Amino acid sequence: MKKKKVTPVGFTWIGAISFFVLIAVIMQMAILVYDYIRQKTDNISLIALLILIEILILSAFCTVFDFIRRKLTVDRPTKKILRATEKIAEGDFSTRLDIIHEYGKYNEYDLIMENLNKMATELQKNEVLKTDFISNVSHEIKTPLAIIQNYAQMLQDDGLDPETRRAYTKTLKGASKRLSDLITNILKLNKLENQEIQEKAEAFDLTEALSESVVEFEPLIEKKKLELNCDFDDVTIFSSKSLLEIVWNNLISNAIKFTGEGGKIEIALKKSEQNVEIKVSDTGLGMTSEVGAKIFEKFYQGDTSHSTQGNGLGLALVKKVIDILGGEISVQSEINKGSTFTILLKDVVYEY
Ligand SMILES: Nc1ncnc2c1ncn2[C@@H]1O[C@H](COP(=O)(O)OP(=O)(O)OP(=O)(O)O)[C@@H](O)[C@H]1O
Ligand SMILES: [Mg+2]
């Protein structure tokens, strides 16, 4: 952060020189008054009394002057800051301070106030994120839990034929998988956000790793009768294999999920100089630009009815990983035509 130019509240040369001049003027005045009294009278007791009165008046003047100065420059902002910090400490994050001087003429108090305002804004944002997060998690947990309760209840019926019993058990399994996926993703995201997952970079064959992931999705691809085209350059990279797996697993699973039967999925891996570009395209549902702008937010799902499977955490995880690895992710999409997600990993190509 660029350091701002601020006037110190304590020692300043201007303050010191002003104080010096004030004291010099007062002493000069005292000498002049003393001379004046000496010219008017020789009575030593009267002179002593008048000098005492003069000293008292000048001391009172200095005290009042210093009192007003402190009141305005120290007491007022300190009390203002104190009141604000008390409110923030009590949890009122809407508290904001009116900064005394205009920008560019800040003193240290103005800077403290500006920093306090920023802290309160951050705390307020975090509070909103926390409540949103809790309500989203509760919402996502409620649906599969309700399914589990209902189907467990229905399974208690002894008269169920084996076919129906199998179907109910399958639904139960699906709901509990949804719950465990949700918890796994929340924990992963939490670890990534708290930087508990260290980026363990290693040299690995990206072509092989990507092919292995694609193979794992083959049963799903076949089930939906999707056409799959892969075009992979041969490339070894130096990066975090486990983190990157999160990226393509989510992108491929989304491409499958949001593409109707008979659609097409293309996965391309291109090497260009030291960079690598991975594209995952589908001919599926696509999305509007409004939806496209929000897909990397936690718990966001284009289908607001949340009837499609998932919790809207996949792309939040992908974005976090790409940020950690210093890469780029972009999406191009057209409604009912399909989507293309492009990942750019910079300076990762590993030469033997
Ligand atoms: N290939 C795609 N085609 C169309 N829409 C997509 C595609 N990928 C993502 N989206 C949109 O972005 C939203 C967020 O995606 P994300 O992967 O974060 O969540 P999800 O797939 O719904 O759930 P989860 O990943 O937690 O199982 C999706 O709900 C969908 O609306
Ligand atoms: Mg997803």
Which of 156, 173, 193 is the endpoint of a domain? 193
Q: Tell me if 8 is assigned to some domain.
A: no
- Could you tell me the pLDDT band of residue 92, with boundaries at 50, 70 and 90? very high
Q: Are residues 188 and 211 in the same domain?
A: no
The verdict on the CB of residue 314 being under 6 Å from ligand 1 is yes
Residue 129 covered by a domain: no
Assess if residue 7 is contained within a domain.
no
Which residues, at least 6 apart from 193, have a Cβ–Cβ distance to it below 8 Å?
Answer: 320
Residue pLDDT, tens place only, 111-159? 999 999 999 999 999 998 888 888 888 888 998 899 999 999 999 999 9
Which ligand has its closest atom nearest to the C-alpha of 185? 1
- In this structure, are 180 and 223 located in the same domain? no
Compute the distance from residue 203 Cα to the ligand 2 centre, in Å: 27
Tokens for 216, please give them: 């794992």
CATH assignment at residue 167:
1.10.287.130
Among residues 308, 302, 259, the alpha carbon closest in space to that of 282 is found at 259
Give the position of tokens 């659609």: 263
Q: Is residue 305 very low, low, confident or very high in pLDDT (cuts 50, 70, 90)? A: low
Which residue type is seen at 297? E
**pLDDT over threshold 80, residue 2:** no
Do 336 and 246 lie in a common domain? yes
Is residue 262 over pLDDT 90?
Answer: yes
Query: Which amino acid does the sequence have at 59?
Result: S
Which residue's alpha carbon is nearest to atom 20 within ligand 1? 312
Strands 236-239 and 275-282: unpaired
Is the same domain home to 63 and 80? yes
Instruction: Kindly indicate the confidence band of residue 3, based on its pLDDT and cuts at 50, 70 and 90.
Output: low
Residue with tokens 């008390």: 86
Tell the residue nearest (CA) to atom 12 of ligand 1.
Answer: 295
Pair 342, 349: CB distance under 8 Å: no
Take atom 19 of ligand 1 and give the residue whose Cα is closest.
312
Contacts of residue 33, Cβ cutoff 8 Å, sequence gap at least 6 = 54
Please state at what angle helix 108-155 crosses helix 76-89, rounded to 10 degrees: 10
284, pLDDT greater than 80: yes
Tell me: do 35 and 67 sit in the same domain. yes
Quote the pLDDT of residue 321: 93
**Tokens representing 231?**
């075009």
307 and 250 together in one domain = yes
- Helix (H), strand (E) at residue 278: strand 275-282
Please report which confidence band the pLDDT of residue 309 belongs to, taking 50, 70 and 90 as the band edges: confident
From 180, 182, 247, 254, give the residue whose CB has the most ligand 1 atoms within 8 Å, as the site to mutate: 254
Determine the residue of 296, 301, 317, 335 to mutate for testing ligand 1's pocket, defined as the one with the most ligand atoms within 8 A of the Cβ atom: 301
Is residue 217 a contact partner of residue 256, using CB atoms and an 8 Å limit? yes
Range of the domain at 59: 13-122
Q: Report the distance separating Cα 30 and Cα 22, nearest Å.
A: 12
Mark whether 241 and 333 lie in a shared domain: yes
Instruction: Determine how many CB atoms are found less than 10 A away from the CB of residue 312.
Output: 20
Ligand 1 pocket residue status of 283, Cβ below 6 Å: no
Strands 227-232 and 275-282: unpaired
Beta bridge partners of 271: 276
Nearest to 249 by CA among 286, 223, 212, 222: 212
| Residue 240 falls inside a structural domain | yes
The whole-chain average pLDDT of the chain stands at 91
- Contact status, residue 253 vs residue 211, Cβ threshold 8 Å: no
Domain end call among 122, 145, 162: 122
Structural domain tally of the chain?
Answer: 3
Amino acid of residue 230: C
Query: Is the residue at 320 inside a domain?
Result: yes
Tell me the sheet residues that pair with 230.
267
Contacts of 178 (CB under 8 A, 6+ apart): 143, 144, 309, 311
pLDDT in tens, 188-244: 888 888 877 667 889 999 999 999 999 999 999 999 999 999 999 999 999 999 899
Look at residue 103 in the predicted model and tell me its pLDDT.
83
Contacts of residue 279, defined as CB under 8 A and 6 or more positions apart, other chains included, come to 266, 267, 268, 270, 340, 341, 342, 343
Tokens of 67: 């009192």
- 297, 336: one domain: yes
pLDDT score at 98? 93
